[in-house]
Copies of this chain bind each other. A is one copy, B any other.
Amino acid sequence: MRISVLGGDGYCGWATALHLSARGHSVAIIDNFIRRQWDHELGVQTLTPIRPLAERLRVWQQLTGRHIELFSGDVSDYEFLASTIESFEPDSVVHFAEQRSAPYSMIDRKHAVSTQVNNVVGTLNLLFALRELQQDCHLVKLGSMGEYGTPNIDIEEGYIEIEHHGRRDVLPLPKQPGSFYHLSEVHDSNNMMCACKIWGLRATDLNQGVVYGTMTDEVILDEALINRFDYDEVFGTVLNRFCVQAAVGHPLTVYGRGGQTRGFLDIRDTVKCVELACLNPAKPGECRVFNQFTEQFSVMEVAKLVQSAGRKLGLNVEIDHLPDPRVEKEEHYYSAKHSKLVDLGLHPHYLSDSLLDSLLNIAIEYRDQVDPSLFLPQVNWRNASNKRERQPLVPEAAFAAKA
């Protein structure tokens, strides 16, 4: 199958592109490297030393004989995006090419606007390109479980049957996203639903949970293929950040009471879910929704799992409760369905001691690279504008200040 991976240089995109290539699909990566630019803007770095994409692709080809095509450019540029569709003629387009950090979108007005414009325009461009050039191509769009917020009812996979005043309909599940980033994903989802209805496009909207881990069967093959491992407060997902904090002896930074419950999944399941969606496309006119996660945990549960795994490795892991910089419920009902990908054949990698050991060991391996000043939240949802004033600290001073 011919599959374009938009955003294939990013955290999930890179692992997915390699997995699809390893499985024998013809893969093209479309990327403009803006994710690397955001690192420079924020003064942050992935813990793991990722290589330039050209080198990654060269090594992949040397190791496996498999060629991944590369189109360098921005999906906000319609002529560029359309040219990749015309040239590569994909059967599926997997769309990771979005600004995906909630804190980034909440820095200030410019970051909120750029996040929404980038994400909405990119997805609109893609919908139009498919309609104009590749009508039968299946769009597999990465979204977020955060689109739903935390309703007091079960979270179905995208749609819900509602009975009201004696009448019934199956309608999109109401969404209450809590950041300008998550709002942009809701905008995309609504645009996609309409495009499928009016144009007969086929789409799968993957509402993904919080991803953890960095290794997959493919990135582990060579140091040059290593994936991102973000631990900063803006792009670092919570479990990865906790492991790095544990490795350097920094207290785990739980926001508020830590009762915030979310869906989680291993990056090895991300890549598998995307392939399953591609191999089992939506029907023409259908915009189906899969909730892409395997287990749900509260943030406090995640912290305790890391604490326990760290102690087994001889690490002294403390848990710190910071005032929650986000506006969210710190305790709430949460029960989200996630059976559709399992029905298609997903065998989840549940969060295990061995995975936590592996993550902690990666963090320990690269602990000299860790900048603890990146741990503490500097983006407060309640402010219209946040100054991210980093005060690079030597580790000892950082911990002393917190004691």
In the complex, the 4 A-B pairs of residues with the closest C-beta atoms, listed nearest first: A152-B169, A171-B174, A153-B164, A109-B128
Looking at the complex, which one of B112, B168, B385 makes contact with A124 (CB distance below 8 Å)? B112
User: CB of A377 within 8 A of chain B?
Assistant: no
Asked if A50 is at the interface of the complex by the 8 Å CB criterion, the answer is no
A38 contacts B by Cβ under 8 Å = no
Rounded to whole angstroms, the CA-CA distance of A361 and B387 in the bound complex is: 60
A150 CB → nearest B CB, Å: 10
Report chain B residues within 8 Å CB of A143: none
Whether A187 contacts B120 by the Cβ 8 Å rule is yes
**Complex alpha-carbon distance, A190 and B112, angstroms:** 14
Asked whether A132 lies within 8 Å of B198 as measured between CB atoms, the reply is: no
Q: Is the CB of B186 within 8 A of A190?
A: yes
Please pick, from B131, B176, B333, the residue contacting A171 in the complex, using a CB distance under 8 A: B176
Count of chain A residues with a beta carbon within 8 Å of a chain B beta carbon:
51
Nearest opposing residue in chain B for A177, CB measure: B194
5 contacts between A and B (CB under 8 A): A116-B124, A116-B191, A153-B169, A153-B171, A172-B174
Tell me whether A124 and B151 are in contact in the complex, defined as CB-CB below 8 angstroms, given that A160-B164, A327-B198 are known contacts: no
Q: Are B153 and A162 in contact (CB under 8 A)?
A: yes
Q: Are B198 and A78 in contact (CB under 8 A)?
A: no
Per-residue contact bits, chain A 359-401, to B (CB 8 Å; 1 contact, 0 not):
0000000000000000000000110110000000000000000
Question: Is the CB–CB distance between B176 and A153 below 8 Å?
Answer: no
CB of A93 closer than 8 Å to a CB of B: no
Q: A178–B199 Cα gap in the complex (Å)?
A: 11
For the complex, is A179 an interface residue (Cβ under 8 Å from B)? Answer: yes
CB-CB contacts of A183-208 with B at 8 A, as 1s and 0s?
Answer: 10011001101100111000000000
Query: Does A154 lie at the interface of the complex (its beta carbon under 8 Å from any beta carbon of B)?
Result: yes
Q: Are A333 and B167 in contact (CB under 8 A)?
A: yes
- Complex-state Cα separation, A154 to B171, whole angstroms: 12
Given A109-B78, A191-B180, A198-B178, check contact A152 B128 (CB 8 Å): no
The docked-state distance in angstroms from the alpha carbon of A269 to that of B125 is 39
Chain B residues contacting A175 (CB-CB under 8 Å) are 172, 190
**Complex-state Cα separation, A176 to B189, whole angstroms:** 11
Complex Cα gap A385–B127 (Å): 12
Does chain B have a CB within 8 A of A344?
A: no
Cβ B183 vs Cβ A191 within 8 A = yes
- Nearest-neighbour CB distance to chain B for A95, whole angstroms, equals 16
Known: A120-B187, A172-B174. A197 touches B153 (CB 8 A): no
**Which residue of the partner chain, among B113, B120, B154, contacts A167 with CB atoms under 8 Å?**
B154
User: Does A221 make an interface contact (CB < 8 A)?
Assistant: no
